[in-house]
Amino acid sequence: MTTESVTSAGAGRGPAVIGTPAAAGSLYPKEVAARLREDAAAVVARYPEPRSALLPLLHLIQSVDSFVSPRGVAFCAETLGLSRAEVSAVATFYSQYKRKPNGAYTVGVCTNTLCAVMGGDDVFATVSAHLGIGNDETTDDGQVTLERLECNAACDYAPVVMVNWEFFDNATPASAVDLVDRLRAGERVEASRGPVVQDFKAVSRVLAGFEDGLVDDGPSAGEATLVGLRISREHDWHAPAYPEAEHDGESDVAEDGTGRGEVGEEQSSSEHAEPTPHEATTGERPDEPADQAGTEPTSPKSGTEGTKE
């Protein structure tokens, strides 16, 4: 690799540095810059406006630098036609964007309400003491960054620990200590619901929109998530029908009382879409044969027109 002076990626874990103007010598090595430009072009091409690509580009920067570095801010600003202040304003708003070099594994302990009362505070305190670091700090070997997390919508597995956004359910102080020890030892670690844990830079590249092929690896929904669905099926329970609509004096409840569709039943967007002026005039719908246009639909899935008295 051609080497130029790189001041950001190898910087020590000091105070926040986001927004610091890129100084001379803070450019990326040529090979890295070339790949960044190529990847950035692919990301920007997904959006009608270049500036809309800022969030994934910030993840892309983290896939190289492990944080939103000054040179990364400059790269995003230059690529998207923004000021560095604008880039920094966005990067500092979201906690997923790091202001200093991150460890290979972000270990997040949920200490939000439910996880806290189920033991999350104990898990955090134990891991913090074991690693000798506090919130948003990184071990000296650069392997683990410890964080307190807000609710991860995984309360049915409280208390929850996440490693680079993969779940570790029903954590205990002992299991969390074992987890961080295995991560620091470079062991293969499988998530409770998800794939084998990847390092922070690899996951950041996925968040930038470049798939790693692991999306279907590992378990997905767990028993605690599915138990309600299973019980409702055993008892043939259904969601109640929609209440009567007040508009036009028409009912949203089908004659069989089931509403416009069972909960979870797939309905096409065209069934929900407002008619275009042409459709309103002719009565035609996109997937409807011309000889049926204007006739009364008979399926309960067909919306209010199928429920007229």
Provide the binding-site residues for ligand FES, judged by CB under 6 A. Answer: 110, 112-115, 151-152, 154-155, 158, 160
CB nearer ligand FES, residue 118 or residue 180? 118
The least distance separating ligand FES from the CB of residue 144, rounded to whole angstroms, comes to 20
CB nearer ligand FES, residue 11 or residue 114? 114
CB nearer ligand FES, residue 120 or residue 300? 120
| Beta-carbon contacts of residue 295 (< 8 Å; ≥ 6 apart) | none
Report the phi/psi class of residue 40: left, alpha or beta, with left for phi > 0 and alpha for psi in -120 to 50: alpha
The least distance separating ligand FES from the CB of residue 96, rounded to whole angstroms, comes to 16
User: What CA–CA distance (Å, rounded) separates 302 from 102?
Assistant: 52
Residue indicated by tokens 């964080």: 147
The least distance separating ligand FES from the CB of residue 135, rounded to whole angstroms, comes to 16
CB nearer ligand FES, residue 67 or residue 165? 165
The least distance separating ligand FES from the CB of residue 122, rounded to whole angstroms, comes to 14
CB nearer ligand FES, residue 78 or residue 121? 121
The amino acid at residue 30 is K
The dihedral of CA 257, 263, 269, 272: what is its sign?
positive
Vertex 89, ends 86 and 95: CA angle to 5°?
Answer: 140
The least distance separating ligand FES from the CB of residue 214, rounded to whole angstroms, comes to 22
The dihedral of CA 157, 160, 163, 164: what is its sign?
positive
The least distance separating ligand FES from the CB of residue 160, rounded to whole angstroms, comes to 5
CB nearer ligand FES, residue 80 or residue 110? 110
Kindly tell me the number of DSSP H helices and DSSP E strands found in the chain: 11, 5
Residue indicated by tokens 């002992």: 174
